[in-house]
Amino acid sequence: MEKIVLPDIENFHELDVYKKHGGYEAIRKALAQTPDEVIDTVKKSGLRGRGGAAFSTGLKWSFMPKTTDKPKYLCVNGDESEPGSFKDRQIFEYNPHQLIEGILIAAYAIGSNNAYVYIRGEYHKWIRLLQKALDDAYAEGLVGEAMKKTYGTNFHVDIFIHKGAGAYICGEESALMESIEGKRGYPRVKPPFPAQNGLWGCPTTINNIETLTNVPAIINKGWEWFAAIGAERHPGTILYGVSGHVNKPGVYELPTGTLLTDIIYNYAGGVPGDKKIKCIIPGGSSMPPLRGDSIEGLRMDAESLKAAGSSIGTAGIMVMDEDTDLVKVLARITRFYYIESCGQCTPCREGTGWMKKILDRMVAGKARSSDIDLVVNVASNIDGNTICALGEAAAWPVMYMIERFRDEFEAVMDNTYVPPIKNKVHSMRQTKITVDRY
């Protein structure tokens, strides 16, 4: 299988090697076309965003207004903070020039002269690696004002790296823009969408690192070639990040629609000690967990996973073997969202804390039998009631983990616990009314 994003070529991260293998030819090809033709090619290729929502990339680009007197911006999302997701750092390290070329093409397609690459602050090493590649590209006139001369065009784009500072929420596109503007990462209410009102109120497109790294290959080899790879409605390859209880954790680039069992057993080396899989999260910790006994024949693409009751997300596959304590896992997941909630919307700010409290109680073996329903109730009151998707990200693991593994949670209940009656009025309200009033 041919790899698109992380090809097996030695020193591919170096500019010379990248150019020797046809690097920076796709941008020349794109510049010879109109922006609309480029957008059309990407649309027809079927490329969908790799950051979680799997939205059509070409369609997203086409939302950008054609006539505007405001500057247009491109943001490239390398915040990569989703637990279980560690793919973008491979691109910064092993294929930064293809990413830069993808940014150039995307900027040309939407008509932007400024692109910001947002990278999480902890990625010091990878920021340096991308900056090095960017400096090399600038030095050869492949990026920036010098583009005009190099490619013989009147288009140019500058690429800047914006370093985050440790906030998961900044991976959400509107929080990311707030962060670039030098503010707290508070997600914005949508609409208006970024294509109308984005960075500094100007039209903006936000794409994921992996998504844009695919673009040069599509321009070089044509949309028909790309559309024929992998699953029909979600074509291409994906960087699957496999972690947890597997023998060979790591990032594997495989076509979309690859069997999940194939990824785990043939590529990631199976489960240590040949244990069974109890639970699996297919797309990073925000996505609904699946039962290990339900993954036979399951394919890893957006449609198949949706049908199975989960989502492709960032394709960060977390594997948990039969001896895993799922109550502890869920408590840990909930702690994450409790800490990372930005605090803007009440259901998420308060709800994540309540869920954490209840789940910690379960871990400590002090839970009441009503706690299972209580925590699901809190989760379902967060779901759909917040500005951004962090609410759902916090609620779904709780709702689906308990739905699919209820016996695990019932086993840790302290059934001898009798709640004290502190308030008489409260206790009366609980009393069943036996008199028929009607």
Partner 1 sequence: MEFKFTEENLEKINRVFAKYPTKKAALMAVLYIAQEQNRYISHEVMQEVAKLLEITEEEVIGVVSFYTMYHTHQPGKYHLQVCTNVSCMLRGAYDIWNAIKEKTGLEDGQTSEDGLFSIEEVECMGSCGTAPMMLVNEDYIENLTKEKALELIDSLK
Q: Within 13 Å of residue 434, how many CA atoms lie on the same side as its CB?
A: 2
Please pick, from the candidates 185, 257, 288, 313, the single residue that binds partner 1 as defined by CB under 8 A.
Answer: 185
Please pick, from the candidates 52, 83, 203, 236, the single residue that binds partner 1 as defined by CB under 8 A.
Answer: 83
Q: Which is nearer to partner 1, 339 or 421 (CB)?
A: 339
Contact region for partner 1 (CB under 8 A) — 47-55, 175-183, 347-355, 373-381? 175-183
Q: Which is nearer to partner 1, 83 or 236 (CB)?
A: 83
Rounded Cα–Cα distance for residues 30 and 41 (Å): 10
Q: Which is nearer to partner 1, 21 or 128 (CB)?
A: 128
Q: Is 216 left (phi over 0), alpha (psi -120 to 50) or beta?
A: alpha
Task: Give ∠ CA 100-284-352 in degrees, rounded to 5.
Answer: 120
Q: Which is nearer to partner 1, 200 or 417 (CB)?
A: 200
187 binds partner 1 (CB under 8 A): no
Q: Which is nearer to partner 1, 133 or 333 (CB)?
A: 333
In contact, 398 and 371? CB cutoff 8 Å: no
Please pick, from the candidates 58, 316, 347, 351, the single residue that binds partner 1 as defined by CB under 8 A.
Answer: 316
Please pick, from the candidates 41, 62, 81, 174, the single residue that binds partner 1 as defined by CB under 8 A.
Answer: 81
Q: Which is nearer to partner 1, 18 or 338 (CB)?
A: 338
Q: What is the size of the binding site for partner 1 (CB under 8 A)?
A: 54
Taking the complex as a whole, the smallest distance from the CB of residue 167 to partner 1 amounts, in Å, to 5
In contact, 202 and 43? CB cutoff 8 Å: no
Contact region for partner 1 (CB under 8 A) — 4-12, 157-165, 203-211, 428-436? 157-165
Taking the complex as a whole, the smallest distance from the CB of residue 97 to partner 1 amounts, in Å, to 21
200 binds partner 1 (CB under 8 A): yes
**Cis peptide bond prior to 71, omega within 30° of 0:** no
312 binds partner 1 (CB under 8 A): no
Please pick, from the candidates 72, 120, 278, 356, the single residue that binds partner 1 as defined by CB under 8 A.
Answer: 120
256 binds partner 1 (CB under 8 A): no
Rounded Cα–Cα distance for residues 279 and 293 (Å): 8
80 binds partner 1 (CB under 8 A): yes
Q: Which is nearer to partner 1, 31 or 167 (CB)?
A: 167
Taking the complex as a whole, the smallest distance from the CB of residue 52 to partner 1 amounts, in Å, to 14
Please pick, from the candidates 35, 241, 257, 351, the single residue that binds partner 1 as defined by CB under 8 A.
Answer: 241
Taking the complex as a whole, the smallest distance from the CB of residue 241 to partner 1 amounts, in Å, to 6
Taking the complex as a whole, the smallest distance from the CB of residue 238 to partner 1 amounts, in Å, to 15
82 binds partner 1 (CB under 8 A): yes
165 binds partner 1 (CB under 8 A): yes
3 binds partner 1 (CB under 8 A): no
Q: Which is nearer to partner 1, 218 or 394 (CB)?
A: 394
Taking the complex as a whole, the smallest distance from the CB of residue 237 to partner 1 amounts, in Å, to 17
168 binds partner 1 (CB under 8 A): yes
User: Which stretches of the chain bind partner 1, using CB under 8 A?
Assistant: 71, 80-86, 88-89, 120-125, 160, 162-168, 179-185, 200, 241-245, 249-251, 281, 285, 316, 318, 320, 324, 328-329, 332-333, 336, 339-340, 342
